[in-house]
Structure 1
Amino acid sequence: MQIDLSGKRAIVSGSTAGIGFAIAQGLARAGAEVTVTGRTQARVDAAIEAIRQAVPDAGVSGVAADLGSAEGCQALIEARPEADILINNVGIFGPQDFFAIDDATWQQFFDVNVMSAVRLSRHYAQGMKQRDWGRVQFISSESALNIPSEMVHYGMTKSAVQSISRGLAKVLSGTNVTVNAILPGPTRSEGVLGMIKQAAEQEGVSPAEMEARFVAENRPSSIIQRLATPEEVANMSVYAASTQASATTGAALRVEGGIVDTMA
């Protein structure tokens, strides 16, 4: 299978590192014109340069904006009024005791993880519908199904975006616009590796040992028994963005290593 996204314009929210960066690079490698987004211009510029080094002929540019706010989403929309592929990846996470999560933190997680995707999809999917072609993806998580007790607020947001993706797919019924959710498991992203490194320092063990312990203790049902790589998640995203995936819509596409112990 040869995936060719030449002529397609893609936006990947939160794509200066981790899964978002890997998706942006994968889309660029497939020929798409990719817009990288991040909160600071320095991070955006660094991501663009890294993609160009990996993919010398990449068509890649960037927009710096805080997509956790309505103003930030509007700034991106004004800078890039149209897109053929929208990857709603931006998100925050972090373990916290449920009883210590205050209202402001609940609202912050909802604004960044859910409302960014709502605002961007509401705008870009309309143009896709008018042109009768498009791809919208919501980067959810296996935590949408297995709500982690240490991150209830995070799991809630991932369940929400999975619900939105299914509903939006129905809204766009009968068109050539597909909408899907991608469900990664624990992935070797910058944020996860940082969390593991911090835990390793507290426990006095190596990051590699802590990584293995994390999977064994926190995701014992994992079939692959390891963290996924951002590139493994990106491969699913790039396929779902392709013309070949035209009959895949309204789906929850798992890249979680078999953690979710159900067949449906």
Structure 2
Amino acid sequence: MKIDLTGKTAIVTGSTEGIGKAIAKGLAECGARVVINGRKPDKVEATVQELAKEIDGGEFTGVAADLGTAAGCEELVRAVPEADIVVNNVGIFGPQDFFEVEDEVWQQFFDVNVMSGVRVSRAYLPGMKKRGWGRVIFISSESGLNIPKEMIHYGMTKTANISIARGLAKQMAGTGVTVNSVLPGPTLSDGLVEMIEDDAKKAGKSVDDYARDFVMEARPGSLIQRPATVEEVASMVVYVASPLASATTGAALRVDGGVVDTIA
């Protein structure tokens, strides 16, 4: 089985680090022209240069735009009018007690985690439909099913991602365009490393060991009993973005290490 994305243009939102960066790299390794996105121009450019050096023949362009705003989404579409693959990855997270989360925080999480994907999908799906081929993938989370009590505001947005992807899949029925959501579980991304790095040092443990213990404490139902790597999540996304996944649409595909305790 070989995944060939030669000639396809892929946009990965929020792709200057973590899962998004790994997805961008994976798509490029399969031949796609990849658009790197982030809020900071210098970080976008640095990521473009880094990945271009790592992947022989890789084609990357960068668009610095804050997709948590309507204006930022419009800026992305102006820079890249058409795309074959869109990965709605950009997102924010952070634990906070429900009773301490102000309205502004709820709105910020909704704007970044939900409305970015709504606006970007609304812009690119009509072109995909017209051409008879396309892939839209929402990066949700197992937290969209297993709502964490310490991040209810985050879990809500990830449930919304799953709902939107399912509805859009129905909207694109019979067109050759698929829409899916991918649900990572605890993943050793830059964000998780940043969150636990200080605690790991205080505990006298490596980040990897502390992360493993963290997963077993916070998600004791994990069947792999460790965090996933960003590459493991990216592998699922690259497959779903490929022609090989043409019969997979409207699905919520888990890369959660077995955290969600259901067979469906």
The TM-score, its normalising length taken from structure 2, stands at 0.98
Aligned residue number for residue 122 of structure 1: 122
Percent identity, aligned pairs only, is: 62
Q: Which 10-residue stretch deviates more, 227-236 or 202-211?
A: 202-211
Q: Which amino acid aligns with 2:106?
A: W
Question: CA shift at 1:206, angstroms?
Answer: 4.5
Q: In 1, are the aligned partners of 2:23 and 2:237 still within 8 Å (CA)?
A: yes
The TM-score, its normalising length taken from structure 1, stands at 0.98
Deviations 1:134-180 (A, max 9, x none): 00000000000100111111000000010000000000111100000
Question: CA shift at 1:210, angstroms?
Answer: 2.5
Aligned residue number for residue 178 of structure 1: 178
Query: Is 1:38 aligned with 2:27?
Result: no
Aligned residue number for residue 263 of structure 2: 263
Query: Is 1:65 aligned with 2:57?
Result: no
Q: In 1, are the aligned partners of 2:38 and 2:66 still within 8 Å (CA)?
A: yes
SS of equivalent residue, structure 1 residue 35: strand
* C-alpha separation in 2, matches of 1:202 and 1:104: 33
Q: In 1, are the aligned partners of 2:188 and 2:211 still within 8 Å (CA)?
A: no
Aligned residue number for residue 193 of structure 2: 193
Aligned residue number for residue 132 of structure 2: 132
Q: Which amino acid aligns with 1:213?
A: D
Cα distance change on mapping 1:26 and 1:209 into 2, 3 Å = closer
Aligned residue number for residue 223 of structure 1: 223
Deviations 1:114-141 (A, max 9, x none): 0000000001001101111000000000
Question: CA shift at 1:50, angstroms?
Answer: 1.7
SS of equivalent residue, structure 1 residue 195: helix
Aligned residue number for residue 113 of structure 1: 113
* C-alpha separation in 2, matches of 1:64 and 1:78: 12
Deviations 1:219-254 (A, max 9, x none): 100010001011100000000011111000000111
Question: CA shift at 1:24, angstroms?
Answer: 0.4
Listed as ranges, the matches of 1:1-264 within 5 Å are 1-201=1-201, 205-264=205-264
* C-alpha separation in 2, matches of 1:77 and 1:49: 22
- Cα RMSD of the aligned pairs, angstroms, is 1.1
Deviations 1:2-50 (A, max 9, x none): 1000010100000000000000000000000100000011111111122
* C-alpha separation in 2, matches of 1:198 and 1:162: 33
Q: Which runs of 5+ in 1 are unaligned?
A: none
* C-alpha separation in 2, matches of 1:37 and 1:70: 15
Question: CA shift at 1:212, angstroms?
Answer: 2.3
* C-alpha separation in 2, matches of 1:23 and 1:35: 11
SS of equivalent residue, structure 2 residue 149: coil
Question: CA shift at 1:204, angstroms?
Answer: 6.0
Q: Which runs of 5+ in 2 are unaligned?
A: none
SS of equivalent residue, structure 2 residue 231: helix
Q: Which amino acid aligns with 1:4?
A: D
Q: Which 10-residue stretch deviates more, 60-69 or 199-208?
A: 199-208
* C-alpha separation in 2, matches of 1:54 and 1:263: 39
Q: In 1, are the aligned partners of 2:178 and 2:246 still within 8 Å (CA)?
A: yes
Deviations 1:88-120 (A, max 9, x none): 000000111111100000000000000000000
Question: CA shift at 1:211, angstroms?
Answer: 1.3
